[in-house]
């Protein structure tokens, strides 16, 4: 059995990581704090990344019209019915959650950290939207609670990055990783497989690059084509090829094989809203994808890090 898993997975599971660290069942509660994004308001660009929905990747977050405590407790009540002694991490998910004055960030973060059994906070953001005073505050926060900063990268390839309207460079991303790690702040990076016109070799290069950085976790997504996005318009016009489920399983396994086994896999497929998804529809069978990855890794007798080299 792979050493970083309790359930016969062949990669470093988040379940294993949390149980080893907190000796308890831990749930992330997704929240929508009502932030915007520098790639939406004109600071860096307009319209956001071409795949981003109007909720700013917050489909599974809370209702932004509700107070953060109300959002949190709505979900906590449901979980407590089945797992009454769980611990929680407040996950600021929608849009760019460091993109506000420090006083506002403090108010929002510290509000949820006062909730019973909340043992940490996870903050989804961009590398170009964390001011120096915010970095200093995050360092203080990390000394008081469990803190993760989730950085969207998606790809290391500048041509693709411009195509999807990311609005930042790889150099900016690498520099922010170094700044955060100098403060000993945990980093989880988001990448997307199947971006328009990327080859499997390019997707592997993105994973290899992350190995050269000091990151603690990764989220691997499959490209979603969502209704009412620029990506939907582009897809209808160009009909660029999408990965099949088998291709996605293959490239994801190949990425896992080269990743440092100590990097925690926080996500290994996407979880789109079925009412908003245009393609690929195979993404709606999330557990089939997870099972196919498990079965194929067992068939190949492979595991995370088997090809990892420092």
The verdict on residue 307 lying in a domain is no
- The predicted pLDDT at position 1 comes to 66
Q: What are phi and psi of 195, to 5 degrees?
A: -60, 150
Confidence of residue 105 (pLDDT cuts 50, 70, 90): very high
Percent of the chain at pLDDT exceeding 70: 97
pLDDT tens figures, 211-254 = 999 999 999 999 999 999 999 999 999 999 999 999 999 999 99
The verdict on residue 160 lying in a domain is yes
The verdict on residue 293 lying in a domain is yes
The verdict on residue 96 lying in a domain is yes
123: alpha, beta or left? (left if phi > 0; alpha if psi -120 to 50): beta
Crossing angle of the two packed helices 68-82 and 102-113, in degrees rounded to 10: 30
What CATH number does the domain containing 224 carry?
A: 3.80.30.30
Total domains, the chain: 1
The verdict on residue 6 lying in a domain is no
Q: Which residue has the higher pLDDT, 56 or 146?
A: 146
pLDDT tens figures, 250-283 = 999 999 999 999 999 999 999 999 999 999 999 9
Q: Indicate the Cα dihedral angle 206, 209, 214, 216, nearest 10°.
A: 30
Q: Supply the range of the domain harboring residue 267.
A: 14-300
pLDDT at 98 over 90: yes
The verdict on residue 231 lying in a domain is yes
Mean pLDDT of the chain, nearest integer: 94
Alpha-helical (H) ranges within 14-101 are: 14-22, 68-82
DSSP 160-177: HHHHTT--S-HHHHHHHH
Please give the model's pTM, rounded to 2 decimal places: 0.95
The verdict on residue 31 lying in a domain is yes
pLDDT tens figures, 25-82 = 999 999 999 999 988 888 888 888 999 877 655 456 678 889 999 999 999 999 988 8
- The predicted pLDDT at position 191 comes to 98
């Amino acid at each position: 059995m792979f050493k970083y898993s309790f359930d016969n997975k062949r990669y470093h599971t988040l379940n294993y990581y949390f149980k080893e660290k907190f000796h308890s069942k831990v749930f992330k509660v997704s929240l929508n704090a009502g932030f915007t994004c520098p790639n939406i308001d004109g600071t860096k660009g307009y319209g956001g990344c071409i795949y981003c929905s109007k909720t700013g990747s917050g489909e599974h977050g809370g209702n932004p019209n509700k107070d953060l405590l109300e959002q949190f407790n709505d979900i906590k009540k449901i979980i407590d019915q089945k797992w009454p002694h769980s611990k929680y991490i407040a996950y600021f998910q929608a849009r760019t959650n460091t993109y506000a004055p420090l006083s506002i960030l403090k108010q929002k973060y510290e509000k949820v950290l006062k909730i019973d059994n909340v043992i940490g906070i996870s903050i989804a953001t961009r590398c170009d939207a964390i001011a120096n005073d915010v970095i200093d505050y995050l360092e203080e926060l990390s000394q008081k609670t469990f803190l993760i900063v989730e950085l969207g990268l998606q790809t290391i390839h500048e041509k693709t990055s411009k195509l999807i309207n990311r609005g930042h460079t790889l150099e900016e991303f690498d520099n922010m990783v170094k700044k955060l790690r100098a403060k000993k702040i945990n980093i989880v990076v988001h990448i997307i497989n199947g971006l328009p016109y990327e080859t499997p070799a390019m997707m592997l290069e993105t994973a290899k690059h992350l190995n050269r950085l000091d990151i603690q976790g990764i989220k691997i997504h499959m490209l979603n084509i969502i209704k009412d996005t620029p990506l939907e318009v582009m897809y209808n016009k160009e009909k660029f090829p999408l990965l099949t489920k088998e291709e996605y399983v293959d490239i994801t396994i190949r990425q896992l094989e080269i990743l440092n086994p100590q990097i925690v896999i926080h996500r290994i497929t996407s979880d789109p809203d079925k009412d908003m998804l245009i393609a690929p529809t195979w993404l709606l069978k999330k557990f089939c994808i997870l099972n196919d990855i498990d079965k194929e890794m067992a068939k190949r007798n492979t595991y995370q890090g088997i090809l990892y080299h420092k």
